Amino acid sequence: MSHSRKDSDAPPLRGDESELKNLVVTVHTHTRLASQRFYNFWHYTDSSAKCNMAKRFIRTKQILIILTSCLFIFGTIWFGSHPDVRPVLVQQQEKHVIRPMPTASFRPVPDNTDLLRRFGLLDEEDDPMRVPFDETSMQELAYPRSGWDIYLPEWANLTSPLIVTAMFEIKDFENMIKLIWSVKEYGGDSHLAIFDMTEVKNEHKAKNQQDDFRNMYSLETYCNLTEICSVQSVKFREQKIPKYIRKKDFGAYKPIIIQRMLKLFPLVLWIDSDMILSSSEALQSVWRLTSRHNVTTFRILNGCSVSSYTFKKMLPYFGLVDRMDAVNYAHMIESGVYAFRRTKSVDRLIRLWLNCSLTETCIKPIGVSNECSSTSCKDNQPTFAYLNCHKFETSALCASLVSLSFHRHEASHEDYEELVMNTQPDKETGFNMTAIKISISTERHRILKLYNRVKVNLLEQDDEEVIEREIRPQSIGDMQG
């Protein structure tokens, strides 16, 4: 069935109008033909043809379902990769998670809210940095309501700088005694906080450590004698903290301790347990520079770059894949000493460092080796090539500094050698390990005698109360009789 129309009497049309008219006529014609064919098929065909048509429709429905599923998956992936268009409720739930600065490509860290809460680093109320640094508010911060509690002695001045370290093995007892002595000699009004990271797996070893002179009780006794330090007990095993955080080699505990102590003290200097202070002038210089520049680090001896000591799989967590020039030309820093000042910018820096430390695949990437086969980058071509020597927590700190383009004071290695040393103090300085051990033993013996005397008095009081309770009812019975 066809229709035709003569337009010989109509005025001539332009080229565009003629094409448009032909298109409209063609669409109208095909629409009428399709409608007529469907009408004829529905009224003049048998049921078998209708069944075939239904099967075609079912197949078309399956295709539509597949297409809808693909669109849903694509939309989910797209919304997940664009956090700025996610729902407001989801953004509010994730606002307490500090993530790296958004760059062209980075690998986000997982949600570490539970670990932050266990360490007392999750700010649920007001930010402690906004609290005035008066004595009353600082005393309240010294005893937090929940989380990882820090107990400080009476002689700890919360407005003075803090030196912090950690002890992992009892065999480091003498090194810790040397550090306490050096802080007493060169530390001025600084307080030393020693974190006890030693772990005893069975009761037999624990009893032997109590009987041995080299234990944490002796360190606490020496701290009480000098009134310069305090011992903080860290029970990671009881809190079910991941094992890699409890190990000394990876250093994941450092940003946790530093961030926790920055909530209490305005300036914090980290020193490894195998080092001691060697100069009061160098320490005072570090405090002044840190107060001015917020962060003080020391350049490594060989002058290599951050890329020489950083495994490539760590860089995506800081968004540094597209900023390799900044990594290649940034100087690597010493692992044992760095100082921080309590500010908002430093808090952001340590949060970035902390997020990497709480993520095992960031602080300890898969395939990394902790055995350094080379110590110099001068023989490499190029000189900033990786030396197969990953520095774990120090590499993470350097990556955080590069990621935030953080301006800090980078001291030379000569300043580092003036500040600390890892050798035996000279006898000319007055250090005498034998005299220190004798004073500790005498004080522990005095405390033990005092404890036994108090215990005997308490037992005598208990015996008198028991005798009175046994005699009094009998006498009353006699009186009634």
- Residue 341 identity: R
Residue 300 phi/psi, 5-degree rounding, is -70, 155
pLDDT the model gives residue 94: 42
Q: What single-letter amino acid sits at 47?
A: S
Q: Count CB atoms within 10 A of the CB of residue 49.
A: 12
Taking only the tens place, the pLDDT of each residue in 394-431 is: 999 999 999 999 999 999 999 999 999 876 676 667 78
Listed residue (332, 451, 450, 467) closest to 386, CA to CA = 332
pLDDT of residue 126: 38
CA distance readout (Å), 404 to 332, 345, 397, 465: 16, 10, 11, 68
- DSSP string across 288-314: HHHHHHSEEEEB-TT--BGGGGS-GGG
Residue 74 to residue 240: CA distance in whole angstroms: 39
Q: Going by C-beta distance under 8 Å and a sequence separation of 6 or more, which residues neighbour residue 70? A: none
Ordered by where they begin, the domains of the chain are: 113-303+333-359+395-429 (3.90.550.10)
H/E stretch holding 165 reads strand 162-167
Omega prior to 132 cis, within 30 of 0: no
pLDDT tens string for the chain (481 positions)? Answer: 444 444 444 445 445 566 667 776 777 787 777 777 766 766 666 666 667 766 665 666 566 677 777 777 777 776 665 544 444 334 444 444 444 444 435 566 666 777 777 776 766 543 443 334 343 333 333 333 334 678 888 888 999 999 999 998 888 888 899 999 999 999 999 999 999 888 765 544 555 555 567 788 889 999 989 999 999 887 665 566 788 888 888 999 999 999 999 999 999 999 998 899 999 999 999 999 999 999 999 999 888 899 989 998 999 999 898 889 999 989 999 999 999 999 999 999 999 999 999 999 999 998 887 677 666 777 777 888 888 889 999 999 999 999 999 999 999 999 999 999 876 676 667 788 888 889 888 988 888 888 888 777 777 666 555 445 444 444 333 433 3
3-state secondary structure 23-92: HHHHHHHHHHHHHHHHHHHHHHCCHHHHHHHHHHHHHHHHHHHHHHHHHHHHHHHHHHCCHHHCCHHHHH
d(CA 183, CA 263): 22
CA distances from 58 to 47, 50, 54 (A): 17, 13, 6
Which pLDDT value is given to residue 76? 73
pLDDT digits 0-9 by tens, 111-134: 677 777 777 676 654 344 333 434
Q: Any bridge partners for residue 9, and if so which?
A: none
Calpha distance 241→256 (Å, rounded): 12
| C-beta separation of 287 from 367 below 8 A | no
